[in-house]
Structure 1
Amino acid sequence: MNDIEIIGFIAAVLTTSAFLPQVYKTWITKDVSGLSLPMLFLFFIGIMAWLVYGILKPSLAMIFANGITLMSSFLLIYFKIRYSNK
């Protein structure tokens, strides 16, 4: 692993961990009123594209960060759909 990939891993950990509290808060409170479904879909597609890019590059930092963020954004979409009608 080179210095550039280490910087990528640091960025991956910071940006991915910044997203996780929102997923946790939404899971606990079931309050999805502040979440926009169109934004979540666009974000999900964008993260999926970054994941594919990381795989094609190949960049472990991008694969790591975007794999976790893809799962997190999927959970937020699921929560938004499930809890919006309550």
Structure 2
Amino acid sequence: METVGYFAGILTTIAFVPQVIQIYKTKSAKDISLAMFLLFTLGVTFWLVYGISTKAVPVIAANATTLMLSLLILFFKYKYRKSM
């Protein structure tokens, strides 16, 4: 079953890579919901804490990577914001 956990983690984590690439290429994150990504990042952080506390390596690996991608998207959201 641990293999299923790794496979699920890989798929859900790499799902964010196209978004990161798209934001980087277009230099725009205007269509990204800040509230959604803040909540999502908080949730991923709690999943990572849970994985660490239960020593669940697939949960740790997937959520550590997803957290980095999510933080990168939030960084781009800030960096590419339009000045008012």
Matches within 5 A, 1:7-86: 7-85=4-82
Contact 1:54 1:60 in 2 (8 A): yes
Deviations 1:22-60 (A, max 9, x none): 011111111211101111110110000000001111111
Give the paired residue count: 83
Amino acid at match of 2:14: S
TM-score in terms of structure 1 length? 0.91
Per-residue deviation at 1:14? 0.7
Structure 1 residue runs without a partner (length 5+): none
Contact 1:5 1:59 in 2 (8 A): no
Coordinate RMSD, CA, aligned: 1.0
Per-residue deviation at 1:82? 1.0
TM-score in terms of structure 2 length? 0.93
CA–CA separation in structure 1 for the residues paired with 2:52 and 2:10: 18
Amino acid at match of 2:73: L
Contact 1:40 1:73 in 2 (8 A): yes
Structure 2 residue runs without a partner (length 5+): none
